[in-house]
Amino acid sequence: MDIFLNRYGGFPYGLTMLLSSIDVKSSIVPGIAEDLIRFGYPSLARRALPSDLGTTIFRTLQVRSLSVRTTTGSWLDLPAMSLAIMPRAQAVGAGGIIGVDVLGRYRRVCVEVGPPVYLTLAQG
């Protein structure tokens, strides 16, 4: 899924993110986090999160917006959020993972495997 971080201001950054219903926290890989920090994302923090290895402390990065291109060519803008910085998505060449913390905001989440791949997020 192609994503843009901070599409409306500052330094827009595009990346491919995976969907995961088993990762409790959305994340980006360390290399992308380093780029974002270099271009002015100052909001770094640390947070204890469950992982394969038990509870682990990860660095996190606060992003102002996360935008997903829709099938009509418009954008679905997700609110500001914190992303864990972890290398898991690197193993398959992705820049990050959209986890349960984002998917859980919606009443219904459907993925149609393509090509093309469709993601349906229903609110309310």
Query: What are the structural domains, with CATH classification, of the chain?
Result: 2-122 (2.40.70)
pTM: 0.79
For the four alpha carbons of 80, 96, 24 and 104, in that order, the dihedral sign comes to positive
At 74-108, the pLDDT tens digits run 778 887 788 999 998 999 999 999 999 888 888 88
Are 122 and 106 spatial neighbours (Cβ–Cβ below 8 Å)?
Answer: yes
